[in-house]
Chain A
Amino acid sequence: NAGVTQTPKFQVLKTGQSMTLQCAQDMNHEYMSWYRQDPGMGLRLIHYSVGAGITDQGEVPNGYNVSRSTTEDFPLRLLSAAPSQTSVYFCASRDPRQTSNEQFFGPGTRLTVL
């Protein structure tokens, strides 16, 4: 199993550009989430999905869109990047059908918006 994979690892954007952060998992997990990590703020939940076709907002959803067309993939879209979106983005997955409900994380994407 590759676990949770994210691409790209690094990205630099100009203000106003759009891009998609990719996330995939091969563990057949129902739940997938996107977090951003900023100094002094910890990890904050952006969007999450409880299964294919179902998404919902987390703590800081503004400026981000998500979709979940398959169980495996959960892309995060920035439609018009802003400097405030400079951050490290982590994707995670878990399966609440399992007793442990352990959350697994991808390696992260470091995004800089100029």
Chain B
Amino acid sequence: KQEVTQIPAALSVPEGENLVLNCSFTDSAIYNLQWFRQDPGKGLTSLLLIQSSQREQTSGRLNASLDKSSGRSTLYIAASQPGDSATYLCQTGANNLFFGTGTRLTVIP
């Protein structure tokens, strides 16, 4: 079974800092890796999807990378803003998709 881990569980940074969120997985036989954002009490918003053949994807201030051989993905957020405060989840797998437990990000004004 695929095991997905996200470290740290919580992160607090001052506004304007660049930051990196980590996601690791145990089985490299994946279709893709998807990063989501979840605000408290809300649903999941898809941020970026990296296909297994890709190394990275970018959207605005967000950049996600994927290294299948080492079982790792990172989500880089540039120039963080208070509005970035949320829980960030990664999901990956093959026939079944599994989630990490998330990183709760707080950006302090």
| Chain A residues within CB distance 8 Å of chain B | 33, 35, 40-45, 48, 50, 58-59, 90, 96, 99-108
In the complex, whether B105 has a CB less than 8 A from a CB of chain A is no
Q: What are the interface flags for B65-99 relative to A under an 8 Å C-beta threshold, 1 for contact and 0 otherwise? A: 00000000000000000000000010100011111
Using a CB-CB cutoff of 8 Å, which residues 1-37 of chain B contact chain A?
Answer: 1, 31-32, 34, 36
On whether A102 and B49 interact (CB within 8 A), knowing A42-B89, A90-B43, A90-B44, the answer reads: yes
Extra pairs beyond A45-B97, A100-B32 (7, CB < 8 Å): A41-B101, A42-B101, A45-B98, A58-B96, A59-B1, A102-B49, A107-B43
Chain A residues with Cβ under 8 A from B100's Cβ?
A: 42
In the complex, whether B46 has a CB less than 8 A from a CB of chain A is yes
Q: Is the CB of B32 within 8 A of A102?
A: yes
Chain B residues with Cβ under 8 A from A50's Cβ?
A: 95
Which of A40, A99, A103, A106 is in CB contact (< 8 Å) with B97?
A103
Bound-state Cα–Cα, A104 to B91, Å:
12
B34, B36, B51, B97, most chain A CB atoms within 10 A: B97
Q: Distance in Å from the Cβ of A9 to the closest Cβ of chain B?
A: 10
Chain B residues with Cβ under 8 A from A42's Cβ?
A: 89, 99-102
On whether A43 and B51 interact (CB within 8 A), knowing A96-B31, A102-B32, A104-B46, the answer reads: no
Chain A residues with Cβ under 8 A from B101's Cβ?
A: 40-42
Which residue of the partner chain B has the closest CB to A107?
B43
